[in-house]
Amino acid sequence: MHLSPSKPCEGKIYYIAKSYRDENGVSTKKNVRRLGTLAEIREKYHVADAWSWARTQLDIENSNDALNKRAVSVRYHADRIIDKDTNRTFNIGYLILNKIYYDLGIDRICSGMERNSKFTFNLNEIMRQLVISRILWPASKLETWKLSSNLALVKPVSLHQIYRALVVIEKNINYLQDRLFHYSKDLLGRNTSVIYYDCTNFFFESERQTELKCPGASKENRRTPIVQMGIFMDADGLPLAFNINPGNTNEQATLRPTEQMIAERMEIEEFIMCTDAGLSSTSNKLYNDIGRRKFITVQSVKTLPNTEGQKKSPGRIKDWAMSGTGWRLSGAINREYTMEEILNPGNRDKYYGLTFYKERWFKIHGEDPLTNSKTELEQRCIVSFSLKYMEYQRQRRSQNIEKAERAISHGNAADPPKNFRSYIVTDRCTQDGELAPINAGFHIDQDKIAYEEQYDGFYAICTNLSEYTDKNGKTHHSVADLLKINRARWEIEESFRIMKTQMKARPVYHRTDKAIKAHFSTCFVALFIYRVLEHRLSSEYTTDQILDTLKDMNALHTPSEGFIPTFKRTELTDKLFEISGFRLDTEIIMLKRLKSIIAQTKN
């Protein structure tokens, strides 16, 4: 290895570089470690002769490199019993996450939080162990404290320090989010042209209620208290911000406060806000029609306005959406299709994978979010129809109806509600028309099935974006562009699934509201680190593949020598080491080498 540049010169950045031959046998080099300019070295390491210090660091790196090439002999005795209560294997895969943790500047964020709160413990070490353990071995804070001893060369912090740190984290939630955004922007270059937002609920095993833990509507129909969490995501699928609200909060009211924080603290003023139908209130639409903000929201076809002759009536929009004429295809806008033609069995193979659409503008009325005065908004409604989507919906409904019929035949139709039980109704009268007694029986609601079937295959979005062509002849905000943006909402749903399933953010065991908010803050940081890792892997592997590989990346500790990797080397492990800039799959990792790698992850 050598210094690059090779001569002392003020103003130039110095690296320790290593020469090697690539796959084609061509001699090249790569930077192993950044030292900085001579001025930076003098200031950071308090040395007078920066060049001599750099040469010393080069000698140290060469010495470490030489040590890694020597043969190592380890002696074991067949009759010697291992020590009691002593770990022999440790996880070294956490160093992949450790590199991203420091790359994102979370250690600097923790230092700022310490200054803001006059915290005397090592908040960075506490945050690091909480976040890494949440990714590798999600558990309670007590169990996390125990499991952290399985990380190689990591000294666990005190349990009471973890609980005290939660108060500091909760106090600095907004600071944590905006610093994480700015540091990640410098590192990754954030794409905030489109921002996605959605909400979900997290449940508790305890029935004790607080100001934050409140009973509310949930998909699981639980009776225990819940907490609502909203996550903002950028156009690349990376988490942007979050909010925590009481479980009985209307999710429509949670959008604006965090959106204002994003605009003020993160200095993001121009973006397209994309949400699902549950968040597409008139108030939220009007708010995102101000300044350089725009919106794309899912619109239920069932709830499209269908009135006429009234003051401020938008017209019979639903009738237009469901009509059989005026359907078009992207790329063939000069031809119109009819629903009769699309649904013709003879055209199924021809039209199965295509999406037909129609669009129009109509006005809605509401209160201006800034002045509270009456105002109107003209929005563009795009209705699409797909044979593939229609068959998918009917297949799902058929499965639910089969479950409902089995529930009736097995006598458990009156059990707590599930998806398929919405098709079950209680008999109110006998076959003779008399009032039926209690528990007279159940039957399938055919009227509901017929009502739902008429909407199969239809999908709608509303937006205030107009299609236009720039001076280079490129079309922007076409129907295909807007539908593509809306389809990316699946990534925020996947983020919720990762938090709930792989990272086990629920059930929540904390009692106080401050601890609950801090818990979700660490979950958000853990999700962010994982998403960055996934992004660096080019989304080529599943969540389970990545996390299982990191969990299994263990090494046997050999005292006085180092660590012997015990995991299976795979294509994924090679990719992980490639993006991290170090390898952990040599036959033995010398202790000095592992310490050097740990220092490298923090640099």
Residue type, 428: R
Does residue 358 sit in the same domain as residue 397? no
Q: Is residue 254 in a domain?
A: yes
Does residue 474 sit in the same domain as residue 433? no
Distance of CA 158 to the CA centre of its chain: 30
Annotate 482-506 with b (16+ C-beta within 10 A) or e (fewer).
bbebbeebebbeebbebbbebbebb
Q: What is the pLDDT of residues 547-578, one digit of tens each?
A: 999 999 999 998 777 899 999 999 999 999 99
The number of C-alpha atoms within 13 Å of 478 and in the hemisphere containing its C-beta is 13
Is the backbone peptide bond immediately before 246 cis, with ω within 30 degrees of 0? no
Tokens, residue 445: 């609601």
Pairing of strands 27-36, 315-316: unpaired
Does residue 447 sit in the same domain as residue 332? no
Does residue 380 sit in the same domain as residue 483? yes
- Token pair 């590199």: residue: 99
* Low-confidence spans in the chain with pLDDT less than 50: 23
Does residue 236 sit in the same domain as residue 325? yes
CB 30 within 8 A of CB 583: no
Cα separation values, 133 from 98, 128, 161, 293, 316, Å: 11, 8, 16, 38, 55
Q: Is residue 243 in a domain?
A: yes
How far, in Å, CA of 430 to CA of 437, rounded? 9
Q: Which ranges constitute the DSSP H helices of 427-570?
A: 446-453, 479-487, 490-497, 513-536, 543-552
Does residue 303 sit in the same domain as residue 274? yes
Q: Is residue 262 in a domain?
A: yes
Q: Final residue of a domain: which of 47, 67, 87?
A: 67
Residue 23's pLDDT is what?
45
Burial class (CB in 10 A: 0-12, 13-18, 19+), 478: middle
Could you tell me the residue range of the domain that residue 412 belongs to?
Answer: 389-453
Q: Final residue of a domain: which of 17, 32, 67?
A: 67
Q: Is residue 520 in a domain?
A: no
Domain CATH for 334? 3.90.350
Cα separation values, 4 from 10, 34, 313, 335, Å: 13, 10, 72, 64
The number of C-alpha atoms within 13 Å of 560 and in the hemisphere containing its C-beta is 4
Give the 3-state secondary structure of residue 398.
helix
Does residue 312 sit in the same domain as residue 432? no
CB 11 within 8 A of CB 40: no
Does residue 266 sit in the same domain as residue 412? no
Distance of CA 321 to the CA centre of its chain: 34
- Token pair 């925590």: residue: 244
Residue 395's pLDDT is what?
95
Q: Final residue of a domain: which of 26, 51, 67?
A: 67
Q: Is residue 152 in a domain?
A: no
Strands (E), 45-133: 89-91
Which residues are CB-neighbours of 354 under 8 A, at least 6 positions away?
A: 329, 386, 387
Cα separation values, 238 from 271, 489, 503, 524, 536, Å: 15, 12, 17, 11, 12
Cβ neighbours, 10 Å, residue 120? 9
CB 276 within 8 A of CB 265: no
Burial class (CB in 10 A: 0-12, 13-18, 19+), 278: middle
Total count of residues recorded for the chain: 603
Cβ neighbours, 10 Å, residue 429? 10
Does residue 358 sit in the same domain as residue 261? yes
Tokens, residue 85: 């209560």
Q: Is residue 214 in a domain?
A: yes
CB 190 within 8 A of CB 278: no
Does residue 262 sit in the same domain as residue 321? yes
Give the 3-state secondary structure of residue 61.
helix
Annotate 17-39 with b (16+ C-beta within 10 A) or e (fewer).
bbeeeeeeeeeeeeebbebbebe
Residue 70's pLDDT is what?
57
Give the residues across from 16 on adjacent strands: 3, 33
Sign of CA dihedral 445, 449, 452, 454: negative
Give the residues across from 184 on adjacent strands: none
Residue 174's pLDDT is what?
93
Q: Is residue 408 in a domain?
A: yes
Q: What is the pLDDT of residues 159-172, one digit of tens each?
A: 999 999 999 999 99
Total domains present in the chain: 3
Does residue 355 sit in the same domain as residue 483? yes
Is the backbone peptide bond immediately before 5 cis, with ω within 30 degrees of 0? yes
Q: First-to-last CA distance in the chain?
A: 19
Show contacts of 60-63: CB within 8 Å, 24+ apart.
61/1, 61/16, 61/32, 61/33, 61/596, 62/1
Q: Is residue 159 in a domain?
A: no
Which residues are CB-neighbours of 580 under 8 A, at least 6 positions away?
A: 95, 96, 99, 601
Q: What Rg do the C-alpha atoms of the chain give, in angstroms? A: 30
How far, in Å, CA of 11 to CA of 569, rounded? 42
Pick the closest to residue 532 from 264, 180, 252, 218 (CA basis): 180
Does residue 397 sit in the same domain as residue 368? no
